[in-house]
Structure 1
Amino acid sequence: MGELHEYTAIEQWTLLQSGETSPTELAAHYLERLARIDGEVGAFVTVTPDAALERARALEASDRRTAPIWGLPIGDKDLWQRAGVPTGFGSRLFANYVPEQSDAVVQAMDAAGGVSLGKTASPEFGLPAYTESLAAGVTRNPWNTTLGAGGSSGGAAAAVAAGLLPFAPGSDGGGSIRIPAAACGLVGLKPSRGRVPSQSGIDSLGGLVVAGPIARTVTDAALLFDALVTPDGSSAEHPFALRAPEPDGPFLAAATRGEGRFQLGVMTTSAWDTAHDVLIEPEALAALDLAVATLAQMGHGIEEMALEPDESYAPAFRTLWQAGAASIPAETPEQLALLEPLTRWLVGRGRSLQARELAEALAVLTAFERSLIRQLSSFDAVLTPALAMTPRPVGWYDESDGDRNFVQQVLYTPFTSMINVSGLPAIVLPVLQTEAGLPMGVQIIGRPGGEATLLAIGTQLERRLRWQDRHPPVW
């Protein structure tokens, strides 16, 4: 028997179910690793060992069959509130904030049987695609600690990659699950809008932000995804009239079977191409080529495609990104001074927008949603590079110039935000390891409610490419 963290989440769950290990033993193992290793990575901003062990002991007195991830350690993204635990939103503005109530997604993870070890790092208010906050410091990539882990679920991804958690929930409003998952060599699933009740996207500006899993394997991601969709293991209450189609049985079953032959599109175009000179690095193209060749060998239909040019997308999404910062609760000069330069710039831009400008941007993005779904509709799924570049060095982004910073993020992550705008599901898979030892991934975009297809394709690739056998130097 190896060390506990060397097992997949599914294997750890099996050990818990058989009684070969206990929630307390598992939590203690990960807490010891956190204390010893996380100084190199910066995945967690707050660790709660006493609360974690108390929670683990309480679970041991409950029926292990009643919760889908019973006894498995998780982390709460620092954008989510947990009652009694400091929640900083990645910002110095909330340095002393301790909430009295937990957010719905935190309650869902508790209902599913998770054991929270603390709060995973996020950039300030989750706005950038990298996790290098002034409040909590830099979250580094376990594959190369001179590089960043991506964002905004950077702490969650770094923790899973470094073996500090078996898997982790994250949130994705423009790529915030898929970007760090790709940078850290992991599987990251952004669900359809409306699929996850506790963070559906329906109540966020533009319908962008949804919760989903980050994991080392496709089946691990499916296990956590099932827990997010149906935390009690049996039914999914939903607070909105709109919801994604019901799944065809548990997602874990689809991932485990890994069955089906599909008609797949392949594209290297993005919604940003008319506004920016998007250059895809050879490593990103190599990952895409490997995935396409492997899928073709397995008998899937492959057809190249390209998006129709759309000059309206870039300014509309930029407007929405700025508007999303307008409600940050910083009003006085002293409060504004606590914000990071990029956030302060975004707040100023967002508050200067006219209502008409926001309404027009939302209308443009609604039209884009319909257009993208139409363009992809002849395929079961569509492949793109996950990122256009290799993981970025720490400090690469310009913090003093908001306009340049925005362009840098677009050029690194051109394939992600359009999926949030359209409400479609997408999965990132770490198919390739470069000669420099860095992970590179592909993104597979599904039809509305098509997560089961994405998981099945992911499992097929995983069986051939065996990325779960790779481990970073920080492990």
Structure 2
Amino acid sequence: MFELHHLTAQEQLDWLRRGDVSPTELATHYLERIERLDDDLGAFTTVTPDAALERARFVEQHVPKSTALWGLPLGDKDLWQRAGVRTTFGSRLTEHFVPEVSDDIVDALDEAGGVSLGKTSAPEFGLPAYTESRVGPPARTPWDESLGAGGSSGGAAVAVAAGLLPVAPGSDGGGSIRIPAAATGLVGLKPSRGRVPTGSGFLSLGGLVTAGPLARTVADAALLLDAISGPSPWSVGPPSWDGGALLNAAVRGEGRYQIGVMTTSPWDDAYEITVSPEAVAALELATRELDALGHGIEPVALESDPSYAPAFRTIWQAGAANIPAEGEQLQLLEPLTRWLVARGRELDARQLATALQELALFERSVIRQFASFDAILTPSLAMTPRPVGWYSQDDPELNFTQQVQYTPWTSFANVSGLPAITLPLCMTESGLPMGVQLIGRPGREDVLLAIGAQLERRIAWQKRHPPQW
């Protein structure tokens, strides 16, 4: 039986603008699905039905239909402040915090005509690559509810994959859009540094964090990215806010490109990285399909750089140092966060400056190494989605090692400022999504979207749906 959420986000927007459905009706449809399904999935920390319907009515009456997301239901990641709505940051320390002002990204979504239904779940202060906080249930992939959805935009990913939202914004400081997208069978796009001027996030050091879309289709991802990109002296590439340039690239899906295929990672010098057979199979399928499409395919290996792992760890720890917890308040933090705060506060300015310098040199090196390619293809994740509770809660060092081993190819795209997209290429024999990642040149999200659209037309992953659909 057909239901509204079976439409793509683009199609829903078309229905809204034609008057086939109203913003209030569409918001009501999704609110009813959230009420019925989300207890088992953990997509939302806070749902705001009254505010959502009031906002939908306001959009109907006062917002021009020409706005990029007119009447489209969305969720705010629970690391972003919306005035008057509880923002927990995934932590017991702040689980009752209600901000008086909204963050820029929230204002940008409103200005684009979106309708927020509430706060999508995130781990404590967005620090880990899984979404299992103590202020709400864990975010579970709707393909197998015993498995986690990844993080830190885990709630946003679950909401889109399970048909609780048509599309959702997330933020990514080390893979936090691409990891949950891969674990839930979605397209997830981390833009170039500067593409989204409102994207600098909580705990962002070194310009790692940016906002971006999670979506079922490449075109839906481009639709949302066009909406949140904007005129800014830091924007790079063609101004997507002027005429929907990225959506146009995603819809047309044109071009032949030189693509490097890579399984090495910058973590290889410090950690034992094992690529699962499922990840290898996804990479091999992508390589065959891209070759069949006429792209140039060439193997490439990342140069060894022993400075990367300790420098990234330093930035991660330093970012946690400013979490507003002192004395007994520290006991409200989860063990991993408490460890990060302690380590971060032990660092001195020289250690932080050295780490930032090493990562800046790494950025230059990566851009040089990839200069002859239009895109670099890697697996999205090294393993299938991990079971809820898989990450160690007693040993922070082991916890960090597990995160690196699960997702060794995401963080260096943040460090180098490059755009990167995860594509839900295939399903395993056990019915789990497995994806691949494409990393592009600075400002060339259009190339990633074009390649993604070509693969989507051949593989039709948008036709796959989890049981809750």
TM bin (shorter chain): over 0.9
Q: Distance in 2 between matches of 1:201 and 1:262?
A: 33
Select 1:271's aligned residue among 266, 271, 294. 266
The match for 2:386 is: 392
Unaligned stretches of 5+ residues in structure 2: none
Select 1:243's aligned residue among 228, 235, 243. 235
Q: Distance in 2 between matches of 1:60 and 1:424?
A: 38
Matched, 1:76 2:76: yes
Q: Distance in 2 between matches of 1:368 and 1:106?
A: 32
Contact residue 269 and residue 306 of structure 1 kept, 8 A:
yes
Alignment of 1:312-327 (within 5 A): 312-327=307-322
Select 2:255's aligned residue among 256, 260, 282. 260
Question: 1:46 is paired with a residue of what secondary structure?
Answer: strand
The match for 2:467 is: 473
What is the Cα deviation at residue 64 of structure 1? Answer: 4.0
Q: Distance in 1 between matches of 2:196 and 2:127?
A: 21
The match for 1:426 is: 420
Alignment of 1:276-355 (within 5 A): 276-333=271-328, 335-355=329-349
Q: Distance in 1 between matches of 2:444 and 2:36?
A: 40
What is the Cα deviation at residue 17 of structure 1? Answer: 1.0
Question: 1:146 is paired with a residue of what secondary structure?
Answer: coil
What is the Cα deviation at residue 400 of structure 1? Answer: 1.2
The match for 1:141 is: 141
Q: Distance in 1 between matches of 2:337 and 2:169?
A: 24
Contact residue 193 and residue 200 of structure 1 kept, 8 A:
no
What is the Cα deviation at residue 243 of structure 1? Answer: 2.9
Select 1:460's aligned residue among 449, 454, 458. 454
Q: Distance in 1 between matches of 2:361 and 2:91?
A: 34
Letter in 2 for 1:324: G
Contact residue 131 and residue 150 of structure 2 kept, 8 A:
yes
Question: 1:442 is paired with a residue of what secondary structure?
Answer: strand
Q: Distance in 1 between matches of 2:234 and 2:36?
A: 45
The match for 2:4 is: 4
Q: Distance in 2 between matches of 1:297 and 1:222?
A: 25
- Superposed CA offset, 1:301-360 (max 9, x none): 000010111111001101111111000000122x10110011001000000111111111
Alignment of 1:358-437 (within 5 A): 358-437=352-431
Contact residue 87 and residue 99 of structure 1 kept, 8 A:
yes
What is the Cα deviation at residue 65 of structure 1? Answer: 2.9
Contact residue 160 and residue 214 of structure 2 kept, 8 A:
yes
Contact residue 193 and residue 202 of structure 1 kept, 8 A:
no
Letter in 1 for 2:325: A
Q: Distance in 2 between matches of 1:24 and 1:219?
A: 24
Question: 2:62 is paired with a residue of what secondary structure?
Answer: coil
What is the Cα deviation at residue 136 of structure 1? Answer: 1.3
Q: Tell me the percent identity.
A: 68
Question: 1:197 is paired with a residue of what secondary structure?
Answer: coil
- Superposed CA offset, 1:254-286 (max 9, x none): 000000000111000000011111000010011
Q: Distance in 2 between matches of 1:340 and 1:201?
A: 20
**Please, what is the CA RMSD of the aligned residues?**
1.3
What is the Cα deviation at residue 246 of structure 1? Answer: 2.5
Q: Distance in 2 between matches of 1:200 and 1:190?
A: 12
- Superposed CA offset, 1:136-173 (max 9, x none): 12111100000000000000000000000000000000
Q: Distance in 1 between matches of 2:123 and 2:165?
A: 20
Letter in 1 for 2:433: P
Q: 1:63 to 1:136 in 2, by over 3 A?
A: closer
Q: How many residues are treated as equivalent by the alignment?
A: 466
TM-score by length of 1: 0.96
Contact residue 71 and residue 114 of structure 2 kept, 8 A:
yes
The match for 1:442 is: 436
What is the Cα deviation at residue 63 of structure 1? Answer: 4.8
What is the Cα deviation at residue 203 of structure 1? Answer: 9.6
Contact residue 317 and residue 343 of structure 2 kept, 8 A:
yes
Q: Distance in 2 between matches of 1:380 and 1:42?
A: 38
Q: Distance in 2 between matches of 1:98 and 1:245?
A: 37
What is the Cα deviation at residue 134 of structure 1? Answer: 1.0
Letter in 1 for 2:36: R
Letter in 1 for 2:211: A
Q: Distance in 1 between matches of 2:53 and 2:320?
A: 37
